[in-house]
Amino acid sequence: MPDFFSFINSVLWGSVMIYLLFGAGCWFTFRTGFVQFRYIRQFGKSLKNSIHPQPGGLTSFQSLCTSLAARVGSGNLAGVALAITTGGPRAVFWMWVAAFIGMATSFAECSLAQLYKERDVNGQFRGGPAWYMARGLGMRWMGVLFAVFLLIAYGIIFSGVQANAVARALSFSFDFPPLVTGIILAVFALLAITRGLHGVARLMQGFVPLMAIIWVLTSMVICVINIGQLPHVIWSIFESAFGWQEAAGGAAGYTLSQAITNGFQRSMFSNEAGMGSTPNAAAAAASWPPHPAAQGIVQMIGIFIDTLVICTASAMLILLAGNDTTYMPLEGIQLIQKAMRVLMGSWGAEFVTLVVILFAFSSIVANYIYAENNLFFLRLNTPKAIWCLRICTFATVIGGTLLSLPLMWQLADIIMA
């Protein structure tokens, strides 16, 4: 069975999804006049406007924090580590490329979410790709299909991936039983998701900035301490980006393909551009100024923070640790824990464990909110259906701690595609 999933994953991500995502991102980039570059100076102003409260929905800042909660998960730690071990330093470069291209895609999908959103019976804004497929394209069947896949991906599979990272981190640092980790994490996640959309948004408004600042500041301090090695690390990313080193040996095509694939995969899993997830949070906002593009710009900031700041910080730590970690037989989160032990001493792994718990918990909660939102589109927003989804999420968090890391990522990549 793992071989089957590996085959499907290689077919989808070996060519199909890379071309589709790259093509869509380039198309949106050109059609919007390079919106991600034209409006980069407006990011500060957009963030300031995002805290402006409006009746009938979340503030844009709450929407941004909710989407960041889903984005900033184990993909920012374990996913980056996996990309570097399989694609080398060059994978970081292609992760950046995917992020810049993805910013235009995110702008488009989140602006559309604002354009085609609607109010539910409680006066709360609801929207996302399923809505604009149905109302914009007139293809409700496509919206239903998308909503079902998103329910499976975000209500079930992705929560298991996050739980798997937490279980591995605790097992590596404290030899903590994975099953116990799963049960505790599932209980806390269940307590959070029962607060509903507004309750989760208020929680994430304070939670997400705090955990991001902790990780980025720690990474910056370590980079300053190791400032002498930093130019070499940055050069290794660009030097190897196009496979020039391997060209003489005839291996450039294969290794470059690996790097591009892994860079795009991990960037997509982390920042979620083009996946149709972030628009579910974007639609819930009552934007200021009241224009669909305002929320598109705010959500572009989310990709910038997620990939170009947080993922880059993780990559720098792994590469600064050097051969002591890069070539060790470790997987995902355990690799970055080892890197932090090399850079920070014995308590480095424990610090990573704390960070991954925060990242994964916030991601599980926000993922559930996305899934629940699509129950409304499917007209299954009854108390019984909502509690069924909550129980499925609860069970998946526990089950995800018991599966192998490669299998969990393969399932996540297939569903994401």
At 300-321, the pLDDT tens digits run 999 999 999 999 999 999 899 8
Average pLDDT for residues 226-245, to the nearest whole number?
83
Question: In this structure, are residues 389 and 170 in contact, taking their beta carbons and an 8 Å threshold?
Answer: no
Residue 336 in this model has a pLDDT that exceeds 60: yes
Q: In whole angstroms, give the CA distance from residue 192 to residue 199.
A: 8
pLDDT of residue 1: 57
Q: What is the domain range of residue 247?
A: 2-416
Residue 254 in this model has a pLDDT that exceeds 50: no
Average pLDDT for residues 168-182, to the nearest whole number?
88
Question: In this structure, are residues 271 and 22 in contact, taking their beta carbons and an 8 Å threshold?
Answer: no
Q: Please give the full DSSP string across 24-82, using - where no structure is assigned.
A: HHHHHHHHTTSHHHHTGGGHHHHHHHTT---TTSB-HHHHHHHHHHHHSSGGGTHHHHH
Average pLDDT for residues 347-369, to the nearest whole number?
89
Residue 397 in this model has a pLDDT that exceeds 60: yes
273-291: pLDDT as tens digits? 888 889 999 999 887 777 8
Residue 267 in this model has a pLDDT that exceeds 50: yes
The answer to whether the peptide bond before residue 89 is cis (omega within 30 degrees of 0) is no
First to last CA, the chain: 19
Q: Which residues pair with 125 in a beta bridge?
A: 119
Band (pLDDT 50/70/90 cuts) for residue 251 is very low
pLDDT of residue 252: 46
Q: Which residue has the tokens 């926000």?
A: 366
Which of 297, 288, 237 minimizes the C-alpha distance to 89? 237
Q: Is the pLDDT higher at 327 or at 383?
A: 383
17-63: pLDDT as tens digits? 777 888 899 999 999 999 999 888 778 777 777 777 766 678 888 88
Q: Which long-range CB contacts under 8 A does 115-118 form with residues at least 24 apart?
A: 115/292, 116/283, 117/283, 117/284
- Cβ burial of 290 (10 Å; 0-12, 13-18, 19+) is exposed
Q: Which residue has the tokens 């999933």?
A: 5
pLDDT of residue 331: 60
For 242: left if phi > 0, alpha if psi spans -120 to 50, otherwise beta; the answer is alpha
Band (pLDDT 50/70/90 cuts) for residue 248 is very low
Residue 240 in this model has a pLDDT that exceeds 80: no
> For the chain, what is the domain count?
1
Written in H, E and C, the secondary structure of 238-281 is: HHCCCCHHHHCCCCHHHHHHHHHHHHHHHHHHHHCCCCCCHHHH
| Listed range (23-37, 244-258, 324-338) with the worst mean pLDDT | 244-258
Question: In this structure, are residues 166 and 179 in contact, taking their beta carbons and an 8 Å threshold?
Answer: no
Residue 235 in this model has a pLDDT that exceeds 50: yes
Written in H, E and C, the secondary structure of 154-189 is: HHHHHHHHHHHHHHHHHHHHHCCCHHHHHHHHHHHH
Structure tokens given for 86: 């399989």
**Helices 90-115 and 17-31, interaxial angle, to 10°?**
60
CATH number of the domain at 124, please. 1.20.1730
371-386: pLDDT as tens digits? 999 999 999 988 999 9
Band (pLDDT 50/70/90 cuts) for residue 253 is very low
Q: Which long-range CB contacts under 8 A does 133-142 form with residues at least 24 apart?
A: 134/377, 136/112
Question: In this structure, are residues 325 and 335 in contact, taking their beta carbons and an 8 Å threshold?
Answer: yes
How high does pLDDT run on average in the chain? 84
Q: Please give the full DSSP string across 317-353, using - where no structure is assigned.
A: HHHHHTHHHHTSS--THHHHHHHHHHHH-TTHHHHHH
Single-letter amino acid code for the residue at 155: G
- Residue 150: strand, helix, or coil: helix
Residue 3 in this model has a pLDDT that exceeds 90: no
Q: In whole angstroms, give the CA distance from residue 303 to residue 369.
A: 19
Single-letter amino acid code for the residue at 109: E
Query: Model-level pTM?
Result: 0.87
- Residue 39 carries which DSSP code? T
75-106: pLDDT as tens digits? 677 778 877 887 788 888 988 988 999 999 99
pLDDT of residue 403: 77
